[in-house]
Chain A
Amino acid sequence: MRPIPLMALALVAAPVALPAAAQDLPVLTVYTYDSFTAEWGPGPLVETAFEATCGCDLQFVAAGDGAELLSRLRLEGEQTEADIVLGLDTNLMAAAAETGLFTNHALGERDYDLPVVWDDPMFVPYDWGYFAFVYDKTRLPEPPASFEALAASDISIVIQDPRASTPGLGLLLWVKAAYPDRAAEIWEALADNILTVTPGWTEAYALFTEGEADMVLSYTTSPAYHLIAEGDDSKAAASFTEGHYLQVEVAARLASTDEPDLADRFLAFMVSEEFQKVIPETNWMYPAVTPPGGLPAGFDTLITPERALIYPAGEAALIRDEALAEWQTALSR
């Protein structure tokens, strides 16, 4: 909640000297995606923890999903209020860097617990995950072990539109990375398995939960939610021999920030234990730096892909349009 008028009233009325009031504190504005700030997301915990030490007022502004965040920033340009943007991912990094709105961080070299080496000077990773097809063990005892096996089966899947959803774009790049020359062919073979294409993850996952499809495109970490929060161990992610596409979620500092030091402190806080330990059970992703206490019980049951597939940021942007055209042609038949 933002400061309410009542509080101001209380300040005026109070005869005794009060500690620095909320409005005197420096404000750090963090743009992030919607689910980060939800009551059950990482936002509230992160805010409390950071404000306890920063002597500042941390304000989250939620703006749709990662790609919508970037669009909003482009709308606002240098007049943006944001000091930090948290919630872009590897597939958006090139476009984000191109805007010239971001500046390098001051964290120096760090060791991250990522499946890939990370040395980007601008974007700081805070969590990561693999895209995967999630299924219900009770309904699908023998999941396919590759895209080709999936295509050959009559298993139904729900996927997301790459132009409207982050996992959708992830799948597009996944198939392209696994089959650089045969992606169109794979999509054609998959076409009859695709029950439908939804605009977002939410619709797709809901269709899957309601029993409409055998598998849904999501993350390898999705079963952890059902296991830990619901005590339901029936969900699992299918391990594909081609490897799984990696998504790394990142944050960066705006060049136009009027609180550069505070922004850097936030980025440092972001890769510290206080922040990282919150991630697994609120964002349901792997933390970029595994906390000393390790991952929560239940995460050990998740599959670990043998190969991490990922395009470097610049390449992903280049390959995107070609992969999209292949996808559209194959599925529009």
Chain B
Amino acid sequence: MLVFERARIVQGDFTMAADFAVPEGARVAVIGPSGAGKSTLLAAVAGFIPLAEGRILWAGQDLAPLAPGARPLSILFQDQNLFPHLTVLQNVGLGLRPDLRLDRGQQAQVAAALERVGLAGLGARRPAQLSGGQQGRVALARALLRARPLLLLDEPFAALGPALKAEMLDLVAEIAAETGSTVLMVSHEPADARRFAPLSVLVAEGRAEPPLPTATLLDSPPPALAAYLGH
């Protein structure tokens, strides 16, 4: 279970409070107006932004002392998810061993992960030689190998077309189901949220609200969300 315990994030004159729990294995969309702090919420979980107050706990353990790489999570950013000078194999391999000294078994795991995301045979390429969707798949393959219980998606597929994005979200859902991961996904698209996430967290007006069923939230949105959705 991911718990925000009276957590407060302060950045200049921006503040956000969160005090709720996300059940283990849940897929949760983080929705809300632009600039409300959706990405900031994820960055706080991932360890890039320190909390001003409160705690964030995973499975009862406070995450604060853990460096970003040591937290029980993988994160996919909006962009720059891959190192452009490394090959696809190397980029994925980093998920297993950050020093890339992979043994045979681990190499096989990398190949299997690439095959799982539909990129078999493209391991020798560099990111610039891949399409946007393929780049997303490489990042997913790496997340798959890292096998962390928590997966944070900061709109990594925002640049993809609707069909491709749907495909990627399905892939994430499958992988999350296979690994039992808890997923937090920032989304701008109500349709994506409905499709992917049974639960949604609304971030608006300096607060991240406790998760509610996505359908409930979207069908009878509170005023802040309604304005954003254009109702």
Direct contact of A and B (CB under 8 A): no
**Measuring CB to CB, which residues of chain A are less than 8 angstroms from any residue of chain B?**
none
**Measuring CB to CB, which residues of chain B are less than 8 angstroms from any residue of chain A?**
none
